């Protein structure tokens, strides 16, 4: 089995940081680092001979630990956990014991805390030309969470240009776990604003949020609202031009063989499908992306990319009616998401003539 290209980058607090390049026979290349289990690039060779990097990131792993990036911390392409999204007031009660987490977004806890999985050095496991296995041991009490948690994350690039990631985790104490990945997509080689990208999300409802964007426990129908993406439409068709979207969509069904969301760029001709085992797709359109230079000297800023974060309901640890996010000793956490990219409509669902008339 041919090995992936593995390149030493630098040492970070005594731990070695590497860059891995996964490839397939179609000329697709995915660069991933064990710093934050970060996807730096996802580059496809298109039929016209051009190379198109469809995710936001940096050319060098070192840039992810630079102060100008960390001060804004948009989580470019990073693993997120132990708990994705927001936990209200950074607290939860488990088996009668109250736990206080790091409060890194006002009074709330976001994406695992001050030093979440995105800033940790993962251990490098097995790897080949198209598979990379990383692992991380999160000790009892890290960022306020109970239990020693051992996480494995496997990336796989198929010959059909499917990039999948699979999480598994075990713990020696009961602990909340809700892992995701924070890949920003821009199907036009990282150029321009993603507002014109066409998007569909198979969700009839969203999770209501308070003014701090923390979910309340109530669901709201998307019908007749600007959150209605049940049919393909431009991201900017109904958005607030100042803030865009930062919203959790509740999928109508959870079926990892059916696309939960899909996006299309008329400029590049690329289709993206997201398939997942998770019940939520959180749409974030990058309103908080700082003005910063990314890969190949691309200039990023607000709305340069969009995220489709797959996860269980945010703040579910505090809302009994939401799905369970407690991992008990003896259980194994599992999450799998696939990014499927094609230069033709994968399911032939949409009428291009009607799209172009809008």
Q: Structural domain tally of the chain?
A: 1
Name the burial class of residue 347, with classes exposed (0-12), middle (13-18) and buried (19+) by CB atoms within 10 angstroms of its CB: exposed
Q: Tell whether 69 is covered by a domain.
A: yes
Residue 352 belongs to what H/E stretch? helix 352-356
Q: Tell whether 264 is covered by a domain.
A: no
Q: Tell whether 78 is covered by a domain.
A: yes
Give strand pairing partners of 133.
154
Q: What six digits make up the tokens of 136?
A: 């991380």
Cα(63)–Cα(169) distance, integer angstroms = 29
Q: What is the DSSP secondary-structure string of 131-168?
A: EEEEEEEE-TTGGG--S-EEEEEEEEE-TTSEEEEEEE
How remote is the C-alpha of 277 from its chain's centroid? Answer: 14
Residues 6+ apart with CB under 8 A from 260: 201, 202, 251, 274, 275, 276, 281, 308, 310
> Hey, which residues are catalytic here?
182, 309
| Residue range of the domain that includes 44 | 5-192+206-218+310-356
**pLDDT tens across 296-342, in order?**
999 999 999 999 999 999 999 999 999 999 999 999 999 999 999 99
Q: Tell whether 257 is covered by a domain.
A: no
**pLDDT tens across 153-192, in order?**
999 999 999 999 999 999 999 999 999 999 999 999 999 9
Instruction: Indicate the pLDDT class of residue 12, thresholds 50, 70 and 90.
Output: confident
Cα(223)–Cα(221) distance, integer angstroms = 6
Q: Tell whether 36 is covered by a domain.
A: yes
Q: How many percent of the chain have pLDDT more than 70?
A: 95
Q: Tell whether 149 is covered by a domain.
A: yes
Q: Tell whether 99 is covered by a domain.
A: yes
Q: Please tell me the pTM assigned to this model.
A: 0.95
106: domain CATH number is 2.70.98.10
Q: Tell whether 252 is covered by a domain.
A: no
- Of 155, 163, 168, give the one whose Cα is nearest residue 127: 155
pLDDT greater than 50 at residue 355: no
């Amino acid at each position: 089995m041919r090995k992936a290209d593995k390149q030493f980058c630098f040492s970070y607090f005594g731990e070695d940081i590497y860059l891995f390049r996964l490839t397939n026979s179609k000329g697709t290349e995915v660069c991933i680092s064990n710093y934050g289990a970060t996807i730096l690039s996802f580059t496809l060779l298109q039929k016209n001979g051009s190379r198109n990097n469809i995710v936001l990131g940096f050319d060098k792993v070192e840039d992810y630990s630079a102060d100008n990036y960390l001060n804004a911390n948009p989580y470019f392409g990073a693993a997120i956990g132990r708990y994705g999204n927001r936990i209200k007031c950074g607290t939860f009660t488990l088996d009668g014991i109250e736990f206080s987490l790091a409060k890194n977004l006002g009074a709330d806890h976001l994406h695992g805390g001050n030093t979440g999985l995105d800033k940790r050095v993962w251990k490098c496991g097995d790897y080949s030309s198209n598979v990379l296995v990383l692992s991380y041991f999160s000790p009892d009490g890290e960022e306020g969470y109970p239990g020693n948690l051992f996480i494995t994350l496997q990336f796989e690039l198929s010959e059909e240009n499917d990039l999948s990631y699979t999480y598994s985790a075990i713990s020696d104490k009961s602990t909340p776990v809700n892992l995701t990945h924070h890949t920003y997509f821009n199907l036009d080689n990282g150029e321009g604003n993603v507002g014109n990208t066409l998007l569909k999300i198979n969700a009839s409802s969203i999770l209501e949020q308070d003014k701090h964007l923390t979910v309340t426990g109530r669901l709201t129908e998307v019908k007749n609202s600007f959150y209605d993406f049940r049919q393909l439409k431009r991201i900017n068709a109904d958005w607030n031009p100042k803030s865009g979207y930062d919203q959790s969509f509740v999928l109508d069904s959870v079926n990892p063989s059916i696309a939960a969301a899909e996006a299309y760029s008329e400029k590049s001709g690329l289709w993206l499908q997201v398939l997942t085992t998770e019940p939520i797709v959180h749409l974030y359109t990058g309103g908080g992306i700082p003005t910063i230079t990314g890969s190949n000297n691309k200039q990023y800023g607000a709305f340069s990319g969009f995220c489709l974060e797959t996860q269980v309901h945010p703040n579910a640890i505090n809302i009994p009616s939401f799905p369970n996010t407690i991992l008990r000793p003896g259980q194994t956490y599992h999450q799998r998401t696939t990014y499927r990219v094609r230069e033709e409509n994968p399911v032939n669902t949409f009428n291009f003539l009607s799209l172009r008339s809008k």
